[in-house]
Amino acid sequence: MKAVLVIADGMADVPLKELSSKTPLEAARKPSLNRVAESGICGLMDVIAPGVPPGSDTAHLALLGYDVMEVYTGRGALEAVGSGIDILPNDLAFRCNFATVDGDFKVIDRRAGRIENEDATKLTAAIKESLRTDPLEVGDILFKNTVQHRAILRLSGPNLSTMVSDTDPHESGVKVLKARPLDGSPEAKETAEILNELTQRFYEVLSPHPLNKERQKKGQLPANIILCRGVGQLPDIDPLPLLYGIRPAAIAAVPLVKGVCKVAGMRLLPVAGATGTYETNVIAKAKVAAEALKSYDFVLVHVKATDLAGHDNKPQKKIEMIEKVDALVGYLLSHVDLEEVLIVVTADHTTSSIKKEHSGEPVPVAIMGPDVRTDDVKEFGERACAKGGLGRISGRDLMPILLNFLGKAEKAGS
């Protein structure tokens, strides 16, 4: 037996008045998702714990079977790995933004007018050059822009700590924050000092840069500072092949989920047209997944845009994306051998269209396979699955349950 696990990001929601008190998932036309529910066993899943809104990083770690409370130190390193940056144990990684500040370091725009990749790349070159010719008196520093205003900062060295606060104030109209040590260790103190020295350097390099003068002439905001947040280290985890004796692969477009999957020892499979946006090509993803099942035991397929629609409070857009996920699952149902492949569908968390944020309600989950104990559930929905044969499980239970179906579960005792 093999398994494909389809995770639609933030697909679960709450009842919405504009949908006659249905959730977007309940309101969507979803024959294939319903077929998985009807032919399979269903339930509700608290991805982290009841009532706790999961992040996408912690959610995926939990769904892969890890103890989030024990292994998670922050988003930075996972996103960095997903962006193709090498992170070693003990390295620190921050999520960064090119931003605009005035002469007093007061933030005018946290995204420097959503600066284009091209300009960010040029400014990044200047930062690199400065750090090369006039290095800070500390360990190795790597700075890399990714998409638009986004960038990654990596600090490597023997005396670093994640116990430092952000320099990003997370709002405009206030000053860039001084990084502060969050415990009494000399490592936290040193890390905060490096971050503050770097922030000064960012301003000194970027502020007078000719490109920023040009931007201002064109009426664009200068990208004259870098804001840092979300420091993290690699979670100290065993990869899935070692943990479970399986060959795992993942199909995902967004760096954070790619990072989690890579850190978990999954092979990342590239898909042309998979974008992490509303326009993503779900059938292309399904095709790669179906093909991958020939070489891998466990294939995770992540779809991002269901979550975006929730954050944007666009229920109709969310329904549309859910129907795309349904098409993805439909392709799998008609292109894999259902006697040999378990089809598993769920979400990594609830995104409430009302709160426009991740929310703590459990998510529906359905597992279809030849030997599962089917139940009476006929629809894949938040409330329908609550009556299913799985009952209410925890996110960390999902992998053991799947491994049991795959014949890979280890007996406890004899």
Could you say whether residue 294 binds a copy of itself (CB under 8 A)? no
Comparing C-alpha atoms, which of 288, 309, 283 is closest to residue 300? 288
Asked if 5 interacts with a copy of itself (CB under 8 A), we say no
Which two tokens mark 54? 């999961």
Interaction between residue 371 and a copy of itself (CB under 8 A):
yes
The Cα 374–Cα 405 span in angstroms is: 13
Q: Interface with a copy of itself includes 400 (CB under 8 A)?
A: yes
**Touching a copy of itself, residues 219-258 (CB under 8 A):** 230
The answer to whether the beta carbons of residues 195 and 165 sit under 8 Å apart is no
Query: From the CB of 400, what's the least distance to a copy of itself, in Å?
Result: 3
Among 189, 247, 335, 383, binds a copy of itself (CB under 8 A): 383
352: contact with a copy of itself by CB under 8 A:
yes
**Backbone dihedral region of 280: left (phi > 0), alpha (psi from -120 to 50 degrees) or beta?**
beta
Taking the C-alpha atoms of residue 145 and residue 395, their distance in angstroms, rounded to an integer, is: 33
Nearer to a copy of itself, 31 or 51 (CB): 51
Task: Tell me if 259 contacts a copy of itself by CB under 8 A.
Answer: no
397 near a copy of itself, judged by CB under 8 A: yes
Among 186, 208, 273, 391, binds a copy of itself (CB under 8 A): 391
Contact by Cβ (8 Å): 78, 263? yes
- Residue with Cβ nearer a copy of itself (100 or 351): 351
Residue 410 binds a copy of itself (CB under 8 A): yes
**Cβ atoms 259, 82 nearer than 8 A:** yes
* Shortest separation between residue 65's beta carbon and a copy of itself, angstroms: 10
Give residues with Cβ within 8 angstroms of 174, minimum separation 6. 106, 107
Regarding 104 and contact with a copy of itself (CB under 8 A), the answer is: no
Identify whether the C-beta of residue 194 lies closer than 8 Å to the C-beta of residue 180: no
Of 7, 36, 48, 151, the one binding a copy of itself by CB under 8 A: 48
15, 84, 139, 157: which one binds a copy of itself (CB under 8 A): 15
- For 146-298, where are the alpha helices, taking DSSP H only? 186-206, 210-217, 240-244, 255-263, 282-292
CA distances to 33, 278, 297, 406 from 341, in Å: 16, 28, 9, 9
Closer to a copy of itself by CB, 123 or 345: give it: 345
Q: One-letter amino acid identity for 145? A: N
Window 67 to 96, contacts with a copy of itself (CB under 8 A): 68-69, 72, 74-75
Does 111 sit near a copy of itself (CB under 8 A)? no
Measured in degrees and rounded to the nearest 5, phi and psi for residue 18 equal: -70, -10
Contact between 25 and a copy of itself per CB under 8 A: no
Residue 149 in 3-state DSSP?
A: coil
Instruction: Give which of 205, 95, 211, 188 is closest to 150, Cα–Cα.
Output: 95
In the bound complex, what is the minimum distance in angstroms from residue 409's beta carbon to a copy of itself? 5
Q: What single-letter amino acid sits at 33?
A: L
Minimum CB distance to a copy of itself, residue 401 (Å): 4
Residue 52, interface with a copy of itself (CB under 8 A)? yes
Candidate segments 30-38, 176-184, 186-194, 380-388, binder of a copy of itself by CB under 8 A: 380-388
Q: With residue 332 as reference, give the H or E element that holds it.
A: helix 315-335
Going by C-alpha positions, the residue among 364, 358, 325 that lies closest to residue 346 is 364
Binding flag, residue 182, a copy of itself (CB under 8 A): no
Task: List residues near a copy of itself by CB under 8 A.
Answer: 14-15, 21, 23, 44, 48-59, 61, 68-69, 72, 74-75, 230, 352, 354-355, 357-361, 371-375, 382-383, 386-394, 397, 399-404, 407, 409-414
